[in-house]
Amino acid sequence: MIKAENLHKYFGPIKALQGVTVEVPEGLTLVLGPNGGGKSTFMKVALGLYKPTKGSVRLLGKDPWKSPEARKSVGVAFDPGRFPKLTTGREWLEFIARGRGAGDEDVEKAAGLFGIEDALDRRIEGYSSGMLKRLSLAQAFVGEPEVIFLDEPLANVDFESVAEIVEIIKKWKAGGRSFIIISHIWEPFENIADFGVVISGGKVYLAGPFAEIKGEVEAMFRPPALDNE
Ligand SMILES: Nc1ncnc2c1ncn2[C@@H]1O[C@H](COP(=O)(O)OP(=O)(O)OP(=O)(O)O)[C@@H](O)[C@H]1O
């Protein structure tokens, strides 16, 4: 689904990606790693928001930087979500939907999925932080794109919402959608993740079927044992 070869992305002197080679299959992929490791940059290059400095990336067999069709098949939620605050939720979601070839009824559907249908005609500046998160998730799901990129979908959400969001993702994955999820809170996804990629220092540190790399991932995130002697 995503094929990156020797992918580099520099921002002036900052080398955010330094030779990422990985093949991400269909299904649900968790992208993990330390802060500043290059996860979000990888996501942004893979969805066609950034042009690679060097190397190549294919999304659904196409160059996402050049191919509008590839981008139409992709939904994305950034973290933190940023929106034009004087627009309404409906105006924003309709704008996203039109870009994706989807209709107004898709907006109602996506808003309903995340429980913000009653707030759709209010200006975004009046939304609570929880509603902003739900709006950014609805933006990713509107029009039912084939591939959904989510950057930290569980950050800053309350406990009940974690289970609700994971359940929605699980259902949509069962319905044939693919997900690329960057999340520091990865445990809720461990039973539904098909693949995992750990990016650190702009390189792939570890990649493979999640069931096979889970042990290593757990060890990476385990705090060091205390020395009692
Ligand atoms: N647009 C940009 N301009 C300049 N530097 C950037 C830009 N985007 C990312 N960086 C830098 O590139 C490096 C990788 O950042 P990136 O956001 O990809 O990491 P990350 O793994 O997603 O981190 P986090 O978990 O903190 O979000 C960091 O040093 C970051 O400051």
Q: Is 173 in the pocket of ligand 1 (CB under 6 A)?
A: no
118-132: pLDDT as tens digits: 999 999 999 999 999
Helix axis angle, 89-99 relative to 129-141, nearest 10°?
20
Q: Is 22 in the pocket of ligand 1 (CB under 6 A)?
A: no
Rounded to two decimals, the pTM is 0.94
57-75: pLDDT as tens digits: 999 999 999 988 888 899 9
Task: Count the domains in the chain.
Answer: 2
Instruction: Find the CATH number of the domain harbouring 86.
Output: 3.40.50.300
Please answer whether residues 212 and 193 qualify as being in contact, where contact means their C-beta atoms are separated by less than 8 angstroms: no
Question: Do 122 and 62 share a structural domain?
Answer: no
Two structure tokens written together for 190: 């461990």
Question: Do 77 and 182 share a structural domain?
Answer: yes
Question: Do 123 and 105 share a structural domain?
Answer: yes
Domain that holds residue 206: 1-23+35-68+199-222
Question: Do 181 and 81 share a structural domain?
Answer: yes
CA angle (80 as vertex; 137, 3 as ends), nearest 5: 70
| Strand order across the 178-182 sheet | 74-77, 147-151, 178-182, 28-32, 195-200, 203-209
Give a yes or no: residue 28 inside a domain.
Answer: no
Task: Pick the atom of ligand 1 nearest to 37's CA.
Answer: 21
- Prediction ipTM score: 0.96
Give residue for tokens 């998160």: 133
- What average pLDDT does range 137-160 have in this prediction? 94
Give a yes or no: residue 194 inside a domain.
Answer: no
> From residue 12, how far is each of 9, 187, 188 by CA, in Å?
10, 35, 37
Question: Do 79 and 64 share a structural domain?
Answer: no
% of the chain surpassing 90 pLDDT: 83
Nearest residue by C-alpha to atom 26 in ligand 1: 35
Per-residue pLDDT band for 91 (boundaries 50, 70, 90) equals very high
164-207: pLDDT as tens digits: 999 999 999 999 999 999 988 889 999 999 999 999 999 999 99
* Mutational pocket test of ligand 1: of 9, 39, 205, the residue with most ligand atoms within 8 Å of the beta carbon: 39
Per-residue pLDDT band for 159 (boundaries 50, 70, 90) equals confident
SS3 178: strand
